[in-house]
């Protein structure tokens, strides 16, 4: 129901994004999008380019008097970071430039390097912010944050979504425990001194998601499949986990399955499934994690090849982050919003936001007290 497209290169004039399928009448402002983009630029360990970019989005079409019109919404995001010196013939390990060069028969590595760059996620984050604005109309809130850096996991912090957001926004690493910032700053500074980089794990939590999004009818319509694909599409993410999937692989079934009970509505006693069963949301919080590899651009050069003579040579260094997991948590929040909004439109879609609200209310009435306390 929702379709998105992006265009642009890391050091081109601008990034462009289109989201099509939004209902008419959704309140939206550039600040709704730019506020999320500012969070993406943040986080301790980011490189100098994030000091240059402003990421103030311009809405080119699909908005009239502060509300969507039902037409495609087009976004523009200028690139202000300027050019960097690029070696056109020495690929960097861990990047997509060599694979892209071979796949597309390019004249050198630069075009693949430019499009495969993580800079593209800025415009995807902008599109995800629009999707998040749609979800908010139905009481759905999505939050991304960091749970592990460089192999060090932070303790679980049970909290409500409002307090979680406040704590994450007050942390330099977007942690639920900002009191750990100093410890992780020391770690990042040590790694930077060695000319190395760090990876980590982020988590996304979505609350207020009703049961019934997604489908088990076909594999590609399963909610968990769509969420996993969205998370893995983020540059540097090499693994994904929904709920306690990794831990659960080592448990007997009696210790993993979420038993069903009833208080004010049908609930699960636990949420090890992460809010998705058989490809369909079950009404519990959706919890998904992405595992991000260390940034592949290092001051401490790795071995590569010069494609002109196939001789071994050090990989080139270009300005880069030491750590981008905090930024990835914001991107993950955005792409999760895109998936959930797509599924929501699939089930409750209409030409206007009022049509969607009416359809949603009718659904809540149908499932009655099983889901929503009167």
Residue 198: give its domain's CATH number: 3.60.150.10
Residue 364 in tokens: 């809540």
Is 75 within 8 Å of 33 (Cβ atoms)? yes
For the chain, the domain total comes to: 1
* Cα angle 348, 353, 356; round to 5: 20
**Rounded to 5°, angle at Cα 128 from 3 and 138:** 95
Share of the chain above pLDDT 70, in %: 97
The predicted structure's pLDDT at residue 305: 96
- Average pLDDT on 164-174 reads 94
Indicate the pTM of the whole model: 0.95
Measured CA to CA in angstroms, residue 210 lies from 141, 215, 272, 284, 285 at distances of 12, 13, 17, 8, 9
Assigned token pair, 217 = 């009818």
Are the beta carbons of 18 and 5 closer than 8 angstroms? Answer: yes
List the structure tokens of 22: 């939004």
Mean pLDDT of 171-178: 96
Is residue 207 within 8 A of residue 141, CB to CB? The reply is: yes
| C-beta separation of 80 from 53 below 8 A | yes
Give the separation between CA 132 and CA 165, rounded to whole angstroms: 15
> Token digits for 194?
């060695």
Spell out the long-range contacts of 152-155 with Cβ–Cβ below 8 A and sequence spacing 24 or more. 152/184, 152/187, 153/201, 154/180
As a whole number, the mean pLDDT across the chain is 93
Give the per-residue pLDDT at 157: 75
- Tokens for 275? 């809010």
Two tokens at 142? Answer: 């999505």
Residue 361: count of CB within 10 angstroms of its CB: 13
Terminal alpha carbon distance of the chain: 31
Tokens of 174: 């977007």
Tell me what the mean pLDDT of segment 145-153 comes to.
Answer: 96
Cβ(308)–Cβ(89) under 8 Å? yes
pLDDT tens across 186-195, in order? 999 999 999 9
Percent of the chain with pLDDT over 90: 84
Alpha carbon 53 to its chain's center: 19
Residue numbers of the domain that contains 83:
3-370
From CA 91, how far away is CA 71, in angstroms rounded? 41
Exposure letters 274-298 (e unless 16+ CB within 10 A, then b)? bbbbebbbbbbbbbbbbbbebbbbb
Measure the CA–CA gap between 103 and 295, rounded to whole angstroms: 23
Q: Find out whether 23 and 137 touch, Cβ atoms under 8 Å.
A: no
Contact call for residues 209 and 72 (beta carbons, < 8 A): no
Reported confidence tier of residue 39, pLDDT bands at 50, 70, 90: very high
- Going by pLDDT thresholds of 50, 70 and 90, the confidence category of residue 319 is confident
Other CB atoms within a 10 A radius of the CB of residue 71 amount to 13
| 153, containing H or E segment | strand 152-153
Whether the per-residue pLDDT at 298 is higher than 90: the answer is no
């Amino acid at each position: 129901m929702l379709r998105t497209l992006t265009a642009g290169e890391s050091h081109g004039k601008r990034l462009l994004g289109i989201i099509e399928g939004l209902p008419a009448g959704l309140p939206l402002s550039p600040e709704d999008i730019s506020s999320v983009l500012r969070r993406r630029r943040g986080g301790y360990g980011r490189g100098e380019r994030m000091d240059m970019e402003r990421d103030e989005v311009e809405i080119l079409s699909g908005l009239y008097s502060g509300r969507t019109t039902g037409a495609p919404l087009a976004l523009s995001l200028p690139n202000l970071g300027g050019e960097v010196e690029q070696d056109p013939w020495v690929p960097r390990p861990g990047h997509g430039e060599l694979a892209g060069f071979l796949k597309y028969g390019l004249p050198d590595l630069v075009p693949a390097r430019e499009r495969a760059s993580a800079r593209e996620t800025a415009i995807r984050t902008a599109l995800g912010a629009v999707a998040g604005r749609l979800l908010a109309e139905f009481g759905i809130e999505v939050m991304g944050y960091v749970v592990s850096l460089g192999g060090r996991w932070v303790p679980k912090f049970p909290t409500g979504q409002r307090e979680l957001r406040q704590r994450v926004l007050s942390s330099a690493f977007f942690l639920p425990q900002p009191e750990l910032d100093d410890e992780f700053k020391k770690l990042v500074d040590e790694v930077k001194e060695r000319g190395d980089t760090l990876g980590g794990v982020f988590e996304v939590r979505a609350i207020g998601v009703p049961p019934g999004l997604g489908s088990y009818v076909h594999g590609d319509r399963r909610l968990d499949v769509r969420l996993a694909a969205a998370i893995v599409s983020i540059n540097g993410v090499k693994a994904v986990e929904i709920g306690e999937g990794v831990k659960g692989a080592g448990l007997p079934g009696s210790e993993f399955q979420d038993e069903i009970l009833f208080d004010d509505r049908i609930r699960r006693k636990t949420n090890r499934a992460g809010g998705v069963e058989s490809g369909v949301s079950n009404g519990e919080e959706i919890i998904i994690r992405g595992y991000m590899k260390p940034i592949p651009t290092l001051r401490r050069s790795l071995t590569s090849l010069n494609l002109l003579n196939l001789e071994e040579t050090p990989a080139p260094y270009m300005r880069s982050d030491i750590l981008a997991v905090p930024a990835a948590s914001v991107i993950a929040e955005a792409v999760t919003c895109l998936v959930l909004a797509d599924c929501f439109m699939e089930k409750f879609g209409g030409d206007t936001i009022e049509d969607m609200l009416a359809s949603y209310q009718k659904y809540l009435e149908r499932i009655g007290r099983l889901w929503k306390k009167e």
